[in-house]
Amino acid sequence: MRRSRVKAKLIAGEPVLVTTCHFTDPSVFELTSLLGFDAIWIDLEHHATSVETASQLMRAARVGASDIIARPAKGEFMRMGRLLEAGAQGIMYPRCESAEEAAEVVKWGKFAPAGERGIDCGNPDNPYCFSPLPGYLDEANRETFLMVQLESPNSLDHVDAIAAVPGVDVLMFGPGDFSILAGIPGQFDHPLIHEAYRSVDAAAKRAGKWWATTSPSAEHSKMLLDLGANIVCHGGDLLHLRNGLLDMQRRFGPLGFKFDDRLNGPSV
């Protein structure tokens, strides 16, 4: 099966940069992967992307270097297995609240003896029944990785127990939902957020695990890497397009062009 770029870099002690693609045009995934980003985060929790569509986007990404990190919704263990079979190297499981829930993620995401993931082999991850079963099972457990997201104050209360679960590879702190549930929506420089970073970092180090989070900028990412983060998730195709169009408006407005902007108001 395809080797994981993310897993190899983590083992080598190198930082990992992940970006998000929300558009469902395969060329977006193809371009991003050809540019050599470590991984593309594809989100099936908050977006309407189906497993069938996701499988086509993953296929496009395979022309380049990028891993796919797929996020199902909370409790979607069957979908998680299908995403792995479609070729995802990583699963990002949202809203993990306990060690028991983390153990369920491992149960459905790893083959025995590490878990109880079901076998098919007739999909891109094997690929297509070409890999002998014993070798494939070992390689799949070795090359895929499981990220559990800590997105609430309650999850941080159980961070050490979650981190200690065998088979959990990465702890991922989600500052967006955490800020809302902690009563500080959008205050990403709040002391509670920085305290959460430190708690996740300490738990990851005690358990010998890696940790990840999102970042709004290169400067913020440097702070996270200095703190001990191993994976930084930044940006997305939607934001890049929005920012590019806004920049175009700023540069062309002084030339006399006017825009009927339905989001920020029309040009005067």
91 phi/psi in degrees, rounded to 5: -115, 130
Cα 245 from Cα 268, distance rounded (Å): 18
CATH code that applies to domain 5-255: 3.20.20.60
Average pLDDT of the chain to the nearest whole number? 96
Neighbours of 37 (CB within 10 A): 22
24-58 residue pLDDT tens: 999 999 999 999 999 999 999 999 999 999 999 99
52-73 residue pLDDT tens: 999 999 999 999 999 999 999 9
79-132 residue pLDDT tens: 999 999 999 999 999 999 999 999 999 999 999 999 999 999 999 999 999 999
In the chain, what are the domain boundaries?
5-255
143-185 residue pLDDT tens: 999 999 999 999 999 999 999 999 999 999 999 999 999 999 9
Q: What residues contact residue 30 under an 8 Å CB cut-off, 6+ apart?
A: 60, 61, 63, 64
238-260 residue pLDDT tens: 999 999 999 999 999 999 999 99
Cα 165 from Cα 100, distance rounded (Å): 9
Determine which helix (DSSP H) or strand (DSSP E) holds 85, and give its type and residue range.
helix 77-85
Predicted confidence band of residue 1 (pLDDT cuts 50, 70, 90): confident
